[in-house]
Structure 1
Amino acid sequence: MTSQQQSSFIESAKRVVAIEQAAIAALGERFDERFVKACELLKNCQGKVVVSGMGKSGHVGNKIAATLASTGTPAFFMHPGEANHGDLGMLGSNDVLLAISNSGETGELLNLLPVVKRLNVPVIAMTNRAD
């Protein structure tokens, strides 16, 4: 590999890190009372943290559930496409549902809400939209 190619890789990596730093800084500005409420729900959860999301959000959710479980918080991932076909039975009234959706309008997640509401399970929505 030439010196020029090495420099190109390094410069590309630096640009990516700068972009990610800016994104994290912007995210920090969005924390408000809703974040505090979500933290309180998770802290006071007497059951499991059930994480759900479709597509890339599902992959992120799977990782969140695995990390929570590995650090001592009972948690698992529930695929929203499977939930209405029996998996909702894993959800209990002492649980908290963390629903992840970039748009906030993922049909498979929205379809879960009537049952989740009937079970009186609190929902934390993690989206890319402030509303």
Structure 2
Amino acid sequence: MIQEQTSAVLSALRTILNERKGLEALEDAIRTQRDGGLGPAFSEAVKAISAAPGRVIVTGIGKSGHIARKIAATLASTGEPAFFVHPAEAAHGDLGMVQIG
């Protein structure tokens, strides 16, 4: 029992370490303003989303779809009208949700 708990704790610590490394790499990429850094592209993406008339439509399949749903929910909860459209369902009627403005 103690060995199982120790294994679970070690696994959790490894996961936290990996997540922290990923966030640090993302932070570095966003801070970089030149040489292929994400800084300028990130700023432009934020401007485009903020300036979008109407609602922001987010889409994706599989794990990308799960993330897209969360992005749409986060945008909506922070005051930016947004919703998720599943690409396969879009071809079967969900495109009716997509309108100009």
Q: TM-score range by the shorter chain?
A: 0.7 to 0.9
Q: TM-score, normalised by structure 2?
A: 0.78
Q: Which runs of 4+ in 1 moved over 3 A?
A: none
SS of the residue corresponding to residue 73 of structure 1 reads: coil
2:74 paired with 1:67: yes
2:50 paired with 1:43: yes
RMSD (CA atoms):
1.7
| Superposition map of 1:100-115 within 5 A | none
Report percent identity of matched pairs.
Answer: 48
Summarize the Cα distance change of 1:33–1:93 in structure 2 as closer, same or farther, 3 Å threshold.
farther
Q: Which has the higher contact order (CA 8 A, sep 6+)?
A: 1
Q: How many aligned positions are there?
A: 93
Which structure 1 residue ranges, 5 or more long, are not aligned? Answer: 95-131
2:85 paired with 1:83: no
The amino acid of 2:96's aligned partner reads G
Give the superposition deviation at 1:69.
Answer: 1.7
Higher helix share: 2
Which structure 2 residue ranges, 5 or more long, are not aligned? Answer: 30-37
Summarize the Cα distance change of 1:47–1:58 in structure 2 as closer, same or farther, 3 Å threshold.
same
